[in-house]
Chains A and B, each alone.
Chain A
Amino acid sequence: MEPLRIHKGLVYPLNRTNVDTDQIIPKQFLKRIERKGFGQFLFYNWRFNDDGQPREDFSLNDKKYEGASILVAGENFGCGSSREHAPWALEDYGFKVVLAPSFADIFYNNCFKNGILPVTLKEDIIQHLIEKAEMEAYELTVNLEEQTVRDSEELQETFEISSYQKEMLLNGWDEIAVTLKQADKIDQFEQNIGK
């Protein structure tokens, strides 16, 4: 996994709450057995008409958000199905950071395994960011080491993150390799339970 320390990028605002993983990546695309290539299907039913043409009424299709790498959305982002295809699709599309007032917890965990940083900020700040990004090309710098989000003006917010998840992302660690270093403890546990 690619380490993530500081990321600067264009913001795409998605002013919707309870965006579920069925919307992030509809089920017809879950049949693939690869991890790659899901970006083209991101938000598919919102982005495309039945005939596969981009929908003008969905803002991600707007030229001004081309190249956006920071997604800002409403509360409870990523609820529903546990499908990791959702962060795969976001990552493959080019998103590195997702900001929201709250996340569903399976999605939140899945992000860290795929080099995406989910950042929780207060609702009013998220609203402010969404309004900014709807008005103009708006860039943010997210610094994981310092746990801050800044824009080019005076905005500066700090965010919380567990030290474990922070380390994982900063170092791009393979979690399985980390755990396998504890193999003796797992052996011991299995001996204790006798199975």
Chain B
Amino acid sequence: MEKPQTIIDKIWQRHIVDQEPDKPDLLYIDLHLVHEVTSPQAFEGLRMKGRKVRRPDRTYATMDHNVPTIHRHVIKDQISKTQMETLKQNCEEFAIPLADIDHPDQGIVHVIGPQLGLTQPGKTIVCGDSHTSTHGAFGALAFGIGTSEVEHVLATQTIWQQKPKTLNVKVNGNLGKGVTAKDLILAIIAKHGVRFGTGYIIEYTGEAIRNLSMEGRMTICNMSIEAGARAGLISPDETTFEYLRGKRHSPQGEDFDTAVEEWCTLATDEGATYDATVEIDAEEIEPQVTWGTNPSMCIPVSESVPNPDDATTPNEKEAIERALDYMGLAPNQPISSVEIEHVFIGSCTNSRLSDLQKAAKIVHGKKVKDTVRAMVVPGSHSVKAAAEQEGLDVIFQQAGFEWRDAGCSMCLAMNDDVVPPGERCASTSNRNFEGRQGNGARTHLVSPEMAAAAAIEGRFVDVRQMDSPVLS
């Protein structure tokens, strides 16, 4: 019998173009996603050397980072505009399909890939964006690359990669009511730190993972990079296949059944071993809120921010002090006493239809606190359209939320959606770094439900104590 393998080993092996001792492997790339910020210098590099794009048909581009989410065509910033126009010209010149700002398929690159069925089990997927790990939710090997590597993939459809080690993150039991995939991944990073995945590809396994929807799985895999991992993935199963059935770029008809048969062979074999394993108990997890300036600086909503005096090393003490100072928080302050001025529901972590549905349930019939500015930015044009079909836009707007067009928006504040200095935002995005949402902005990462609840109360509350149908 063949040695049992993990899904990581299987996908890796099936994509080796060249393998020699003392060298990384040359891997074939099935799908290359491109956006406006990390690609211009790559295309310029091709032009300078007179090189072509090897497989425009395996390349797909969109505009997301820079696009305005209101008054779509008033791009005040000339440089942003140039960047978007440059992408358009590059896609024309190299014959790459592009969902540009007006296209019905436009959206955040990690939202549209799955939604169009471009993302499929067993594929190798890269993008000049660290959250490419999102696509791992489908049992794809997906990772972020730099601009030089973007150029390399455009020219060769391959990439040199040293095979990372494998890490099994096993989540036992099930998440409690009102506790989401976002809380789970935040709790994992809080427990193990922002570096525990460095040098690894993570496979998420266990009962709690199996019971997550595709949206929840995407949220988990999305944040693998915040644990330092090269990629994160989940073996495909019925949930995966059901999601993909009928998607535009999924195999159709009988081809779909054949594909499913093949996809079934990808799942990690019984008895396969990993280089490392960590286990976590889903039942212990509460709704989470980050208090600091990296995603591991995170606590359950019922707790208080740490005291630097309790740190175990001088480095840790200094890091806590710096973070508290930046965040304008006092040691031992209960996180539920922290008042916020902004709420952002969006980003490639949490801007899909089910995220919006869950947030809408919390705000339905209520009002955003008058000291809070809240906005919802759907992950794609089509998420927006589907939400409007269900009347979610009305629910949000009646509650006092702004309802925007699709894009990255306040996740990284490259467009006009910025949190002003010193102000505080409950955000469903993935990074709470200094200045991420605006110079001096203070970010608290939470789930869509927790963000919605914070909008209503003006501070962090345990969503499980809200009177809301979401928990019934």
**What CA separation (Å) do A189 and B151 show in the bound complex?**
20
Produce 1/0 per residue, A153-177, CB < 8 A to B: 0000000001110000000001110
**What CA separation (Å) do A57 and B98 show in the bound complex?**
45
Centre residue among A18, A174, A180 by max chain B CB count within 10 A: A18
CB of A28 within 8 A of CB of B156, answer no
CB of A185 within 8 A of CB of B17, answer yes
Take A18-B319, A23-B435, A162-B162 as given contacts and tell me if A176 and B22 are in contact as well, using a CB distance cutoff of 8 Å. Answer: no
**What CA separation (Å) do A23 and B315 show in the bound complex?**
19
Select which of B17, B83, B86, B315 is within 8 A of A182 by beta carbon: B17
**What CA separation (Å) do A81 and B322 show in the bound complex?**
21
**What CA separation (Å) do A135 and B145 show in the bound complex?**
38
Q: Tell me, yes or no, whether B391 is within 8 Å of chain A by CB.
A: no
**What CA separation (Å) do A22 and B157 show in the bound complex?**
29
Report how many A-B pairs have Cβ atoms within 8 Å.
Answer: 158
Produce 1/0 per residue, A12-31, CB < 8 A to B: 00001110101100111011
Chain A residues near B328 (CB, 8 Å)?
A: none
**What CA separation (Å) do A4 and B83 show in the bound complex?**
32
Q: Name the CB-closest residue of B to A175.
A: B152
Chain A residues near B294 (CB, 8 Å)?
A: 18, 20, 79
CB of B145 within 8 A of CB of A23, answer no
Produce 1/0 per residue, B16-29, CB < 8 A to A: 01100011101010
| Chain B stretch 36-52: residues in CB contact (< 8 A) with chain A | 37-38, 40-41, 44, 49, 51
A45: shortest Cβ distance to chain B, in Å? 5
Q: Tell me, yes or no, whether A136 is within 8 Å of chain B by CB.
A: no
The interface-forming segment of A58-66, A105-113, A138-146 is A105-113
Chain A residues near B195 (CB, 8 Å)?
A: 75-76, 79, 102
Q: Tell me, yes or no, whether A147 is within 8 Å of chain B by CB.
A: no
**What CA separation (Å) do A141 and B319 show in the bound complex?**
30
Q: Tell me, yes or no, whether B106 is within 8 Å of chain A by CB.
A: no
CB of A31 within 8 A of CB of B431, answer no
CB of A76 within 8 A of CB of B228, answer yes
**What CA separation (Å) do A50 and B152 show in the bound complex?**
38
Q: Name the CB-closest residue of B to A182.
A: B18
A32: shortest Cβ distance to chain B, in Å? 7
CB of B28 within 8 A of CB of A80, answer no
**What CA separation (Å) do A80 and B144 show in the bound complex?**
11
Q: Tell me, yes or no, whether B66 is within 8 Å of chain A by CB.
A: yes
CB of B38 within 8 A of CB of A31, answer no
Chain B residues near A87 (CB, 8 Å)?
A: 146
**What CA separation (Å) do A1 and B225 show in the bound complex?**
28
CB of B66 within 8 A of CB of A31, answer yes
CB of A82 within 8 A of CB of B38, answer yes
CB of B156 within 8 A of CB of A176, answer yes
Q: Tell me, yes or no, whether A152 is within 8 Å of chain B by CB.
A: no
**What CA separation (Å) do A101 and B210 show in the bound complex?**
36
Q: Tell me, yes or no, whether B155 is within 8 Å of chain A by CB.
A: yes
Take A23-B433, A105-B230, A113-B148 as given contacts and tell me if A176 and B51 are in contact as well, using a CB distance cutoff of 8 Å. Answer: yes
A33: shortest Cβ distance to chain B, in Å? 4
Chain B residues near A189 (CB, 8 Å)?
A: 17, 28
**What CA separation (Å) do A28 and B321 show in the bound complex?**
27
The interface-forming segment of B74-82, B107-115, B396-404, B463-471 is B74-82
Q: Tell me, yes or no, whether A114 is within 8 Å of chain B by CB.
A: yes
CB of A26 within 8 A of CB of B435, answer yes
Chain A residues near B130 (CB, 8 Å)?
A: 80-82, 106
Take A76-B198, A175-B160, A179-B160 as given contacts and tell me if A113 and B146 are in contact as well, using a CB distance cutoff of 8 Å. Answer: yes
Chain A positions near chain B (C-beta within 8 angstroms): 16-18, 20, 22-23, 26-28, 30-35, 45, 50, 74-76, 79-84, 87, 102, 104-106, 109-110, 113-114, 162-164, 174-176, 179-180, 182-183, 185-186, 189-190, 193
Mind listing 16 A-B residue pairs with CB under 8 Å? A20-B294, A22-B433, A22-B434, A23-B435, A31-B83, A32-B79, A33-B86, A34-B44, A82-B146, A114-B148, A162-B162, A164-B22, A175-B160, A176-B49, A183-B156, A186-B17
Closest 7 CB pairs of A and B: A113-B148, A33-B40, A110-B146, A84-B146, A84-B147, A31-B79, A82-B144
